[in-house]
Amino acid sequence: MILSCLAIPGIRAGNVTLCKGCSISSLSSAVQQVQAHDTILIEAGNYLAINVELTRPVTLLGKGEVVLDGNNEGYILKILSDSVTISGLTFVQPGRSYTKDYAAIYAYRARHFCIENNTIQNPYFGLLLEKSKDGLVRNNLLFGQSKREDDSGNGIHMWHCSNMVVTENEVYGLRDGIYLEFVSESRVVDNYSHNNIRYGLHFMFSNHDEYTGNTFANNGAGVAVMFSKFIVMRGNSFLQNWGTASYGLLLKEIYDGEVTENVFEENTMAIFVEGSTRINYLGNHFQSNGWAVKVSGGCYANVFSKNNFVANSFDISYSGRMNDNSFQNNYWGDYSGYDLDKDGIGDVPFRPVKLFSYIVNRTPETIVLLRSLFVDIINFSERVSPVFTPDQLLDEAPAMKPY
């Protein structure tokens, strides 16, 4: 269970109130006067906040509609101490630059911090967290109006971090919704990342992490996981990530991972895999995608089992050697075999790779023939007497009913 930041017990010496009519009327003055573990209670109002540095443990708590305005000049808040909590604030107009990664909230070498229940509007970077540990980012709304990758940053960006929890946030209208680079032992849980320019979630060089229960919808591509190990991907929804080069999930150079119990619906390619080894794909649901699974070269010891493949244009596209990858006990909507012994497993093996998929890979323009009678005929002939499709790519025990 993930607690609210303010419910976590800690040492708080006292309160300082910030308001327009108070003796302390600016955030800069307030953070200079507080003692370690004090709470700054910020009354409703609009406050100028440019590069405000939090250099001791402190809680910033908004009461009512509190707006911190960066005046387009730089960072709004910098977390430079352990044990900082920021809650209930709205951040507007942080700086934008092509040479500096300005963010609404920037954390550097911080530990045991918490950022929750905040709203960040039209940032370059929303949260930029560097070389930090043991942080909780919860229930924040981050959104922008970005149209181009080169003119926008990421919503929640983590670099060289560990033991982070990112949960229950909504991110849209930015470059990548959530980005992890050199991040370990961290969790991304129950977030809604949608309508971002590039990826809903982006992993690079990050190990021993998991993302579960998230929804990635209408992004340039749903999720990209690259050059990482021991990643658990469970219970997520990848929805309507469409485009000429779009994926629900892109895996490149991934080792020892789990892709389990996810839903892939209406993506151009639900999963594209390249150079990935020892990945278990278990209990996933693929429906109404262009390609459900597209496997490129350099993949070994991957297992596809107990997945549902329903109404996809192509269930499997496979390039390269079969190696020791296996497809067993999956449900295939196109399977037309029989089950005489009534054990729920088809008595006839199923070949999931269609000849037309092979043709489209070589000549993409032929996709216009997808629903034609001609395509049905060549697919049937290949199924009867395989010549072009991988003869070892069989599901020897196809399920008769969806899981």
What single-letter amino acid sits at 108? Y
| Among 1-5, 22-26, 120-124, 244-248, the least confident range | 1-5
> Cα–Cα distances in Å, from 296 out to 158, 205, 274, 320?
29, 20, 5, 6
Asked if pLDDT for residue 368 goes beyond 80, the answer is no
Asked if pLDDT for residue 2 goes beyond 90, the answer is no
| Among 6-10, 213-217, 237-241, 365-369, the least confident range | 6-10
Mode of pairing for the β-strands spanning 77-79 and 52-54? parallel
> 10 Å Cβ neighbour count for 20?
11
Which uninterrupted H or E stretch holds 129?
A: strand 125-130
CATH number of 11-219: 2.160.20.10
Strand partners, 188: 166, 211
For the chain, give the number of residues.
403
By the 8 A CB rule, do 332 and 309 touch? yes
Please provide the DSSP assignment of 300-333 as one string. Answer: BS-EEES-EEES-SEEEEE-S--TT-EEES-EET
Over the stretch 58-85, which tens digit does the pLDDT of each residue have? 999 999 999 999 999 999 999 999 999 9
Burial of 95 (0-12, 13-18, 19+ CB in 10 A): buried
Which uninterrupted H or E stretch holds 257?
A: strand 247-260
Asked if pLDDT for residue 383 goes beyond 90, the answer is no
Asked if pLDDT for residue 10 goes beyond 50, the answer is no
Give 145-151 contacts, CB < 8 A, sequence gap 24+: 145/173, 146/173, 146/174, 146/175, 146/197, 147/197, 148/197, 149/175, 149/197, 149/198
> 10 Å Cβ neighbour count for 381?
12
pLDDT of residue 11: 44
Over the stretch 131-149, which tens digit does the pLDDT of each residue have? 999 999 999 999 998 878 7
By the 8 A CB rule, do 344 and 399 touch? yes
Q: Directed axis angle between helix 373-384 and helix 355-362, to 10°?
A: 120
Q: For the chain, give every domain's residue range.
A: 11-219, 220-403
* CA 327 – CA 331 distance, rounded (Å): 10
**Average of pLDDT values for 317-334?**
90
Asked if pLDDT for residue 30 goes beyond 80, the answer is yes
Q: Give one word for 335, left, alpha or beta, with left for phi > 0 and alpha for psi -120 to 50.
A: beta
pLDDT of residue 245: 67
